[in-house]
Each structure stands twice: as C-alpha cells, then as structure tokens.
Amino acid sequence: MDKVTFDDCAINRANKRRMELEDKAVIARKREGMKGIKILFEKHLCPREFGSAVFNVPDLLKWAQKKGFHLPTVPPLDDYDFAQAEYVLTLIANSPCHTSTTDEAEAHLKTKPELAQHPTAESAPVFLVGADAGEQWRGVLSKAIANGELVLLDRHSLLPVEPAAIPAANGEAETDAKKSNKKPPLQQQFQEQEILRVIGELGIDPKKLPKIEPGKPGIKAKVRQALKFSAKVFDKAWERLRANQDIRSAE
C-alpha cells in the first residue's frame, strides 16, 4: 500500500466532523413508536453487523454496571431510551478523539505489539486506538447477546430480535449474509476516513457532493490527487463509502 502522510490533528478533525454529523441525529432525537421515546439511530450504519437493531439503554447501562464496565461513549447514553447497537459502537470508537492525546495513544499502542505494527500506528494512533476499542466492545456485546445477558430489539416494534438473527459468537458458523455485513478491516476504515477528511477540508458536505462541471476536475479527482492512494485502493474505498451512503451526490 502507498505510504500515506498524515497527522493526528487531521484524523481528529475528521472524527470531530463525523461526530458533528452524528450530533444532528442527537439533536433531532428521533421519536419512534409512541411520542416521547428517544432513540439514538443512524440509518447509514444499518449495513453493518447489527443492522438497525437497538438496545434498551437502561438495560444496557444496568448490565454494564453489573459487569463493572464503563461505556466510553461521547455523548453519554443516559438521555436516551433506546440506542442502535452500531451507533453505540461508533461512539465508542470515536471517543478517543475526545479523551486521548497523541502521546497517550502512542503509549497504549506500545503495549499491544499486534497494533504497534499496523500501517496506521505511526500516522494515526488515536484513530487506531479508537478502532481497536470499538472492535473489543463488539466482541463483548456479541458474547453478551449470545449468552442472553443483553437483548437486541427491532427498531420499529421494539420487540426482541429473533435468535436466528443474532450474530454468532465464539467462532460459531456464520451465514454469508452475516459475514458480508461485518465491520470492514481497520485499513479500510482508515482509507474511508481519509477520503471523508479531505472532502471536509475542501469545505464540502460528503452527503451533498457537487456535480461535475464541464472542463473542471470533479471532487473525486481532487480527493484522489490529495491522498495519492493507488487507483485500485482509492476506487474501492470510494465505492464502499457510496454503498454505505457516507458520500452521495447533491439532489
């Protein structure tokens, strides 16, 4: 893979921008079912492993307290009745950009040889620490769901998800559909985050990409030039973002 020159300030800016977009959903406090129920939800996270399934927040917090766990989410979940499982994991993965310095992240990576050797360890340690935290929590939550300690609920009916729809744990067999919905590897996340960072630095909303003007380079060409990824790597990352609707053209 091409060497990417990158600094932590940039990854922090990208993560903060992502949090700002997510905060729009927080401010809106989408009400589902009966009036007054507050659900933390983002439809663009639905293609991931847990899809649109939600947790009962009071039950989730009680479980965490009983286990002696602290859910490192920014913002805290206390103000919500229900939260999309994938949204919770996104908040956990983004929390280091609010709570950790570059030096702290680098020190943490030194305690984990498998992460210290990762391609993004030097250029984006805070991002890598967050991604690793999200993956650890994904494993913990998956195990708790499989053991019946936590229950995933249907977003609309708020009834328990059928057992067959709950992800397998501890290496059990998985269907092709479940495998296809798994969270992408850290390197793919880094590539996608880089694209979003550059789009943001160009002053463009990734959800409202401008149309190409005749005779002028489009936004895709400008981002490609700024990142210097190989053509194959860049095109695949761009298409993943398109497929997940993290980037889309203006109406």
Tens digits of residue pLDDT in 113-157? 887 887 777 878 888 888 888 889 999 999 999 889 999 999 989
For the residues 72-93, what does the mean pLDDT come to?
Answer: 91
pLDDT in the model for residue 49: 85
pLDDT in the model for residue 20: 52
Strands 54-56 and 82-84: antiparallel
Six-digit token string for 251: 């109406």
d(CA 31, CA 7): 39
Strands 82-84 and 39-40: parallel
Tell if the pTM clears 0.75, that is, is over it. Answer: no
pLDDT in the model for residue 102: 87
10/237: higher pLDDT:
237
d(CA 6, CA 85): 30
200/27: higher pLDDT:
200
191 pLDDT band, cuts 50/70/90, is confident
- Of 18-22, 82-86, 177-181, the poorest mean pLDDT is in 177-181
Angle separating helix axes 186-201 and 125-146, nearest 10 degrees: 130
Indicate the SS3 state at residue 39: strand
As a whole number, the mean pLDDT across the chain is 78
Q: Are 90 and 96 in contact (CB under 8 A)?
A: no
Is the pLDDT reported for residue 54 higher than 60? Answer: yes
d(CA 200, CA 99): 22
pLDDT in the model for residue 244: 81
pLDDT in the model for residue 69: 94
Q: Are 160 and 153 in contact (CB under 8 A)?
A: yes
Q: Which one of 58-67, 203-212, 218-227 scores highest in mean pLDDT?
A: 58-67
Per cent of the chain over pLDDT 90 is 22
Six-digit token string for 239: 């298409």
Q: Which one of 18-27, 44-53, 90-99, 150-159 scores highest in mean pLDDT?
A: 150-159
For the residues 174-191, what does the mean pLDDT come to?
Answer: 57
207/23: higher pLDDT:
207
Is the pLDDT reported for residue 111 higher than 70? Answer: yes
pLDDT in the model for residue 186: 67
For the residues 149-176, what does the mean pLDDT come to?
Answer: 66
